[in-house]
A = this chain, B = another copy of it.
Amino acid sequence: MIELRGKAVADCITEDASNKVRLLREKGINPKLAVIRVGARPDDVAYERGIIKRFDNAGVDYEVHELDGNCTQEELNSLFDRVNGDSNVHGILMFRPLPKHLSDEYMKRTIDPGKDIDGMGYVNQAALYSGKKNVFAPCTAQAVIEILHYYKIPTAGKRVTVVGRSLVIGRPVSLLLISEDATVTVCHTKTADLASELKRADIIVAAAGKAGMIKAGMTGEGQIIIDVGMDTNEEGKLCGDIDYENVAPKTEAITPVPGGVGTVTTSVLLRYTVESALRSANG
């Protein structure tokens, strides 16, 4: 069994991005990410810390715009307009979900698709749905693809079972995998016989968000498993959707949690920010 560690993938993406940044700087272009955060949800703050660390390491600029959790829709939209229209900003990440009194509808409609590096806006969602190449997909979904590519795991013609149909992971990763020529089965809470869908898969992408729900009896032998779960177990520790201890020994390869997909996400954000700057430089 091979452990598909995210660090090697993230390091490789980060190094490539750093090289591109040097070339861009020679042309006088400084790639920059803008982060918009409303309030201070612990999840958002933790993710932001990860982003800052990654961007600092790569020497790539960022700016964090923090709004009070009680801000008005007008305040948010007006900040968004300013960031969206700023030619020095190449990527925009707005933490969601927003507080309940706010809507992201305006941002989805108006975000510059070239800066929409988390695939939030309608144009990029439609592009992903349409199977367009080089779309900015939601970063965690793209992180799954990056891991498969880095470890040279072929997907074309393979049976991939995706567990979960969320807008953050299940749907985008399914569409990305269809575009990679995989034969994709999308499972969810209403799937009648999940074990039989899992057992026949060449690759399993687990994105259900339920700690250890996929047990040894439900999977096959010699499979590749990508665990996207970021769950909390009974002891309060971070774990994935896979019952790792019992499932991992049967697999050909599996991502650990922590240390797997989650490790790669911020490097995708970095890569996308640099790609956006490259595109604006070229065009």
Number of copies: 2
Q: Closest residue of chain B to A109, judged by CB? A: B123
The answer on a CB contact under 8 Å between B167 and A130 is yes
A109 to B126, CA, bound (A): 10
The answer on a CB contact under 8 Å between A129 and B128 is yes
Distance from A194 Cβ to chain B, minimum over Cβ atoms (Å): 9
A19, CB-defined interface residue at 8 Å: no
The answer on a CB contact under 8 Å between A188 and B183 is yes
With A129-B128, A130-B167, A167-B130 known as contacts, the answer to whether A185 contacts B188 (CB < 8 A) is no
The answer on a CB contact under 8 Å between A178 and B167 is no
Categorize the interface residue count of chain A. Answer: 20 to 34
The answer on a CB contact under 8 Å between A171 and B122 is no
With A186-B178, A192-B157, A192-B183 known as contacts, the answer to whether A125 contacts B129 (CB < 8 A) is yes
Q: Which of B126, B167, B197 contacts A131 (CB 8 A)?
A: B167
With A165-B178, A183-B185, A185-B185 known as contacts, the answer to whether A190 contacts B130 (CB < 8 A) is no
A184, CB-defined interface residue at 8 Å: yes
Q: Could you mark each residue 186-212 of chain A with 1 if its beta carbon is under 8 Å from any beta carbon of chain B, else 0?
A: 111011100001000000000000000
Distance from A66 Cβ to chain B, minimum over Cβ atoms (Å): 27
A175 to B186, CA, bound (A): 10
A181, CB-defined interface residue at 8 Å: yes
A188 to B188, CA, bound (A): 22
14 A-B residue pairings within 8 Å (CB atoms): A108-B126, A122-B122, A125-B126, A126-B126, A128-B129, A130-B167, A131-B165, A157-B191, A157-B192, A183-B185, A183-B188, A183-B192, A185-B186, A186-B186
Extra A-B contacts (18), CB below 8 Å, given A109-B123, A183-B185, A184-B185 = A121-B126, A122-B123, A122-B126, A125-B126, A125-B129, A126-B126, A128-B129, A129-B129, A130-B167, A131-B165, A131-B167, A156-B190, A157-B191, A157-B192, A171-B178, A174-B186, A183-B190, A185-B185
**3 A-B pairs with the lowest CB-CB distances in the bound complex, closest first:** A125-B126, A181-B190, A129-B129
